[in-house]
């Protein structure tokens, strides 16, 4: 009886509580306000949409930081990043694998790709942009996003090999795992896809920035130039008739890199590069003074000059300045040009050191080691060496650099901030950056420039058919050499003989490219596509940084290792990805 009563009461109370809970109190937990920014609203507003597009652009990787962001110079024979704490060292001693992968950009670039796709699929009908700028602006933005997406795909393709192509729809985040499974496309399919995307972007993009505020946006030229580079890569020996990858197949047996050689790939590459040249929008940069050193330095230091096809406005170049500058100038003194790179520069007669009579490794001229005397202007524009007079950074009045052990810029007890090669990079290092006073010379990071296109074009034509294109090839090589201030092949003052064979020409083009594009993140890819990495990736040398005087210092000395295994041809896909993308195959050798 009493129990009954108790039950009644508790039931009654429970009912009261439940009523309380379900009516007024339900709102108690309704805490999130409705008018937050949602992704839908982002695409209703102009500023927000442009911010979204900026986020897409931000996936274009800058190349100023060569120690923790890009290994493409420091992991080659042109540059030695002196500090073992940075991951370039890990690559150089071969301490990398799919689970411990410095400089891995796989996931990050795919985020850019997804965001670009999302932008393309959602920007249509943005009322504010329509009202202010019309449909044309929306189309332009879509084409820009398409360009960036292609750029990201290309960044993946050149580093990892055949890519996963996702197409025009983004995958739902909560889809079942099975829906995420996509195999890699073959190298050629990847190239076709990216080139096709760039074509459709180029068709819409403006030829040049409409206003000052649009500098840095993708243009038609940028899209065509990127396509030209991709097609050159695709025609190169590593991807054109390379039998090494016969067993590199998807799980279903699909071959990922074709072993068939197709000479027409070179033709296509040449045409694509020519198409950029034919836009007639760009010209090689030359300094008003006509000084070839200034001209060459200005290419990268003089913002938005006529040679610049595509660049990244915000970047780490001032950091690059600081890392490259001598200690005396307040720099970290650690971007060491290698002896291999120093040796690669021509003499002022336009010949390599092995052929030129001007070259000597004995004696000094005006306190300068003769190795550095009579070199071509690009050497002086690019490399700092012992006893060079220099001004910049915190060196207000020009003074000589001292790379000897104990010298102002050399090895010094208690600091790791010294170049182990006895050289420092000077190319693209702005003297106007001064860490001590906190002065930073910001400038765009040039990612594609006309000089490269000329070299691409010459290379492709030479490989396609040297004999019938000799004039055209020489024209563009000579344009580069003319600006560099060195004698040309078969023309001009002190003309050098015209290379007789395709193979000779190939060597000339490759050395020209190595010099002209040094420290611009090309070397890593060039030695791979040319299939010369095995020979190149040997321990790099420098002068003996332990030497306290000239006789001890000016001795070629092995500095740091460069490991090579055939697997290094491509970056491995991260193990994380292999474990999740179950249709993916790992790159050969990993």
Partner 1 sequence: MIALRRRLPLQLLMCGILYGTHLESKSQVSYVSTSRVTTSGNIQNKSDLITFKEMVDHLYAQKKWKFVWDENATKNIRIPAAVMQLKDEEIIQRLDDILRAGGLQINKVTVTQYAIVPFKNKAKPKSHPVLMQEEIKITGTIRDALGSPLHGVSVLIVGTNRATTTNEKGEFEIIANKGEVMELSFVGYITQTITIKDRIEFDIAMEPATGGLNEVVVVGYGKQKKISQIGAQSTVKVDELKQPVANLSNVLAGRLAGLVGVQRSGEPGYDNASIWIRGISTFTNSNPLVLVDGVERSFNNIDPEDIESFSILKDASATAVYGVRGANGVILIQTKKGKTGKPKVNLQYNQGFTAFTKMPSFVDGPTYMELANEAYKSSNPASTTPLYSEERIQATKDGSDPDLYPNTNWMKEMFNKTGENRRANANITGGSENAKYYLSVGYYDEKGLFKVDELAKYNSSIRYKRFNFTSNLNLNITNTTKLDFGASGYIASGNYPGTGTGSIWDNIFLMTPVAMPPQYSNGYAPVARSGLTSPYVLLTQTGYATEYRNQLWSNIRLTQSLDFWLKGLSATAMYSFDAFNQHNIGRRKTVDGYAVLGRDSNGELQFEQTRVGTNYLDFSKGFDGDRQFYTEASINYVNSFGKHDVSGMILYNQTDFVNARASDFISSIPFRNQGIAGRATYGFDTRYLLEANFGFNGAENFAPDKRYGFFPSFGLGWVVSNEKFFADISKVITFLKVRGSYGKVGNNKISDSYRFGYIAQVGGGNDGYSFGRNNEVWYNGRDISEYAVDVSWEEAAKTNIGLELKTLNNDLSIVVDYFQEDRTGIFLRRSNVPLYVGLRSNPYGNLGVIHNRGVDGTVEYSTSLGKNWVISARTNFTWNRAVIIDDANAAWPYPWQQRIGRKLNQRFGLIALGLFEDEKDIENSPYQTGIVKPGDIKFKDLNGDGKIDSYDEAPIGYGAVPELVYGAGFNISWKGFAFGAFFKGVGNVDVRLNGEGFQPFQLAGDRGNLLQEVTNRWTPDNPSQNVIYPRLTYPSNENMNYNNSSWWIKNGSFIRLQTLEASYSLPKAKWFDKGGLSGLRIYFIGYNVATFSKFKMWDVELGDGKGAQYPLLKSFNLGVELRFK
Taking CB under 8 A as the criterion, which residues in 401-420 touch partner 1? 405, 413-417
Contact 572, 585 (CB under 8 A): no
How far apart are alpha carbons 505 and 153 in whole angstroms? 32
Token pair of 366, please?
Answer: 């005006």
Q: Of these, 4, 32, 243, 288, which contacts partner 1 (CB under 8 A)?
A: 32
What torsion do the CA atoms of 316, 319, 321, 322 make, to the nearest 10 degrees?
Answer: 180
**Which of positions 292-351 make contact with partner 1 (CB under 8 A)?**
303-304, 313-314, 327
**Which of positions 488-547 make contact with partner 1 (CB under 8 A)?**
546
Choose between 333 and 371: whose C-beta lies nearer to partner 1. Answer: 333
**Does the footprint of partner 1 cover residue 209 (CB under 8 A)?**
yes
Q: What is the CA radius of gyration of the chain?
A: 28
Surface-to-core class of residue 198, CB atoms within 10 Å of its CB (0-12 exposed, 13-18 middle, 19+ buried): buried
Contact 279, 224 (CB under 8 A): yes
Specify the stretch interacting with partner 1 by CB under 8 A; choose among 13-21, 375-383, 385-393, 480-488: 13-21
Specify the stretch interacting with partner 1 by CB under 8 A; choose among 244-252, 395-403, 421-429, 572-580: 572-580
**Does the footprint of partner 1 cover residue 220 (CB under 8 A)?**
no
Q: Of these, 127, 135, 136, 180, which contacts partner 1 (CB under 8 A)?
A: 180
**Which of positions 415-444 make contact with partner 1 (CB under 8 A)?**
415-417, 442
Report the nearest approach of partner 1 to the CB of residue 83 (Å). Answer: 7
Q: Of these, 134, 210, 263, 580, which contacts partner 1 (CB under 8 A)?
A: 580
Q: Of these, 63, 115, 219, 462, which contacts partner 1 (CB under 8 A)?
A: 115
Q: Of these, 99, 365, 501, 503, which contacts partner 1 (CB under 8 A)?
A: 99
228 dihedral zone (left: phi>0; alpha: psi -120 to 50; beta): alpha
Contact 304, 215 (CB under 8 A): yes
**Does the footprint of partner 1 cover residue 113 (CB under 8 A)?**
yes
**Does the footprint of partner 1 cover residue 275 (CB under 8 A)?**
no
Degrees to nearest 5, angle at CA 567 with 564 and 569:
80
**Which of positions 148-177 make contact with partner 1 (CB under 8 A)?**
164, 166, 170-171, 173-174, 177
**Which of positions 230-249 make contact with partner 1 (CB under 8 A)?**
none
Report the nearest approach of partner 1 to the CB of residue 397 (Å). Answer: 17
**Does the footprint of partner 1 cover residue 178 (CB under 8 A)?**
no
Choose between 119 and 380: whose C-beta lies nearer to partner 1. Answer: 119
Q: Give the contacts of 455 (CB within 8 A, at least 6 positions apart).
A: 476, 477, 480, 509, 512, 513, 516, 517
Specify the stretch interacting with partner 1 by CB under 8 A; choose among 100-108, 245-253, 317-325, 361-369: 100-108
Which residues is 390 bridged to in the sheet? 399
Return the SS3 of 27.
helix
Report the nearest approach of partner 1 to the CB of residue 451 (Å). Answer: 21
Degrees to nearest 5, angle at CA 165 with 55 and 250:
145
Token pair of 439, please?
Answer: 């002065």
Locate tokens 């799919």: which residue?
Answer: 98
Report the nearest approach of partner 1 to the CB of residue 175 (Å). Answer: 9
**Does the footprint of partner 1 cover residue 213 (CB under 8 A)?**
yes
């Amino acid at each position: 009886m009493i129990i009954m009563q108790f039950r009644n009461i508790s039931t009654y109370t429970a009912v009261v509580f439940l009523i309380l809970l379900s009516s007024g109190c339900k709102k108690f937990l309704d805490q999130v306000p409705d008018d937050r920014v949602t992704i839908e609203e982002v695409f209703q507003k102009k500023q927000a949409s442009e911010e979204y597009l900026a986020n897409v652009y931000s996936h274009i990787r800058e190349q100023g930081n060569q120690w923790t962001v890009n290994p493409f110079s420091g992991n080659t024979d042109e540059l030695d990043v002196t500090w073992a704490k940075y991951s370039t060292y890990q690559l150089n001693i071969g301490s990398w694998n799919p689970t411990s992968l410095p400089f891995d950009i796989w996931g990050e670039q795919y985020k850019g790709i997804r965001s670009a796709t999302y932008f393309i699929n959602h920007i249509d009908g943005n009322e504010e942009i329509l009202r202010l700028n019309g449909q044309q602006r929306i189309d332009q933005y879509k084409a820009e996003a398409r360009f960036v997406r292609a750029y990201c795909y290309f960044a993946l393709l050149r580093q990892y090999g055949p890519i996963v192509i996702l197409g025009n729809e983004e995958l739902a985040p909560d889809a079942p795992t099975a829906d995420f499974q996509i195999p890699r496309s073959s190298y050629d399919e990847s190239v076709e896809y990216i080139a096709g995307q760039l074509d459709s972007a180029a068709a819409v993009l403006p030829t040049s920035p409409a206003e000052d505020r649009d500098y840095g946006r993708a243009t038609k030229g940028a899209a065509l130039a990127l396509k030209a580079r991709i097609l050159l890569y695709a025609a190169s020996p590593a991807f054109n008739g390379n039998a090494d990858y016969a067993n590199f197949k998807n799980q279903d047996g699909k071959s990922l890199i074709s072993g068939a050689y197709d000479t027409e790939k070179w033709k296509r590459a040449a045409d694509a590069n020519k198409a950029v040249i034919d836009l007639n929008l760009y010209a090689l940069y030359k300094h008003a003074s006509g000084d070839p050193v200034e001209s060459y330095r200005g290419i990268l230091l003089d913002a938005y000059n006529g040679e610049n096809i595509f660049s990244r406005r915000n970047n780490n170049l001032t950091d690059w300045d600081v890392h490259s500058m001598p200690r005396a100038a307040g720099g970290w003194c650690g971007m060491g040009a290698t002896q291999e790179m120093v040796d690669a520069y021509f003499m002022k007669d336009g010949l390599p050191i092995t052929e030129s009579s001007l070259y000597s490794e004995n004696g000094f001229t005006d306190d300068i080691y003769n190795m550095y005397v009579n070199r071509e202007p690009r050497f002086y524009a690019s490399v700092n060496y012992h006893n060079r007079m220099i001004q910049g950074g915190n060196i207000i009045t020009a003074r000589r650099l001292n790379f000897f052990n104990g010298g102002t810029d050399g090895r010094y007890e208690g600091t790791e901030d010294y170049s182990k090669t006895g050289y420092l990079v000077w190319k693209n290092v702005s003297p106007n950056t001064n860490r001590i006073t906190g002065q930073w010379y910001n400038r765009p990071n040039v990612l594609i420039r006309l000089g490269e296109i000329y070299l691409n074009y010459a290379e492709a034509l030479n490989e396609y058919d040297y004999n019938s294109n000799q004039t055209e090839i020489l024209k563009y090589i000579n344009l580069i050499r003319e600006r560099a201030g060195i004698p040309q092949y078969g023309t001009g003052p002190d003309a050098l003989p015209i290379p007789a064979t395709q193979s000779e020409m190939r060597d000339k083009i490759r050395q020209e490219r190595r010099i002209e594009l040094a420290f611009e993140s090309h070397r890593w890819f060039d030695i791979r596509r040319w299939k010369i990495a095995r020979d190149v990736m040997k321990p790099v040398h420098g002068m003996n940084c332990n030497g306290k005087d000239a006789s001890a210092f000016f001795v070629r000395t092995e500095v740091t290792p460069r490991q090579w295994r055939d697997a290094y041809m491509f970056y491995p896909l991260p193990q994380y990805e292999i474990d999740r993308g179950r249709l993916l195959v790992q790159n050969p050798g990993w």
